[in-house]
Structure 1
Amino acid sequence: MERDLSCSWRARREAGGHAKGGKVTSSDVIMVPQIIPTDSVSVGRAATLALRCTMCHGARGMSEAYTPNLAGQNAEVVYKQLRDLQLGHRKSAIMGLHARNLSDQDMRGLAAYYSYLLRETPPSSLLGQRKAPRIIQVGSPMFNIAPCASCHGGSARKTASSTLEGEPENYIRAQLSAFKDGTRHNDINGQMRSVARQMTPEKVETLAKYYSQR
């Protein structure tokens, strides 16, 4: 059994970036394969591969501090990030090395495996105690910032937008900083870079604290 997760991204155009001989470069549109495996054999193999990831991402996909939680993350998000790391569209000295030797099927399998794991959440009694900040609900029109929930929220989540609930506060803060200064540039059509450049340090802190406690 397989499911269709067709979507596409345009990577950041870098100086001189172009396609030669059909090879993908950073200026090309990256098409995510339409098939993410759901059969037990593929997911089982991915579970074995994921044992290599536990030191940083946790035994069940729940990490600490500076690395993202992968449990319950959208399959297309995990696949895109692994592919971007492998192709150099997203920079990471550690993850670049790990992704380099993964086959396309390995990446699809890992994406499926982590999407099936349950993401730990705080007790429901605590979740209801804090109202979503204004920037998440309505954005900041004066600074041309759309509501975070318009891409990252529940049923309104856009394809390839990450699930942010429960991500480590330090990780969220670090990624917003990287988008803001351009050291991370594998976002779709530069959307996150545009948003992050307009965010004040106070807005970053508010957003990071809120999502990390969800």
Structure 2
Amino acid sequence: MNGMHIAACCAAGLALFGTAVANAQTISRGQVIAATCYTCHGTHGVSPSDIPSIDYIPAERMIQTLKAYKTGTRYSTVMGRHSSGYSDEEIVETANYLASLQKKGK
């Protein structure tokens, strides 16, 4: 009985550790992809030009907007081409990363 309890605890711990590692990898990929946004939208999404800043946009809104550009239901001269190069999963990861900067105060 004691051995089974220890085994169950170890299995649960490994499952939680695996989830934490997966989340860290997701944020890392989102961070890498977000860096490509900074060329036009400014470092951490704060634009120094007429191009809109994206630092204030909640993740869900950014996901919807990028998917609309990707499918062509929202028009832009550039963003449709950029969005079409990313999977839906990559769009979600990038939006979540950018939204996490808001919580950290950039």
Task: Tell me if TM exceeds 0.5.
Answer: yes
* 3-state DSSP of counterpart to 2:48: coil
Q: Does 1:77 align with 2:69?
A: no
* 3-state DSSP of counterpart to 2:39: helix
Indicate the residue corresponding to 1:49 in structure 2.
33
Shift of 1:39: 1.9
Report the TM-score, using the length of structure 1 for normalisation.
Answer: 0.36
Shift of 1:72: 3.8
Q: Does 1:113 align with 2:97?
A: yes
Counterpart of 2:84 (choices 85, 92, 100) is 100
Q: Does 1:66 align with 2:50?
A: yes
User: How do 1:8-157 residues align onto structure 2 when only pairs under 5 Å count?
Assistant: 39-118=23-102
Question: Amino acid of the residue matched to residue 68 of structure 2?
Answer: D
Whose radius of gyration is greater, 1 or 2? 2
Deviating runs (4+, > 4 A) in structure 1? none
Unaligned 5+ segments in structure 2 are: 1-21
Question: Amino acid of the residue matched to residue 90 of structure 1?
Answer: R
Structure of higher RCO (CA pairs closer than 8 Å, 6+ residues apart): 2
User: How do 1:188-203 residues align onto structure 2 when only pairs under 5 Å count?
Assistant: none
Q: When the two structures are aligned, how many residues end up with a matched partner?
A: 83
Report the TM-score, using the length of structure 2 for normalisation.
Answer: 0.70
Equivalent-residue separation in structure 1 for 2:68 and 2:101 (angstroms): 22
Higher strand share: 1
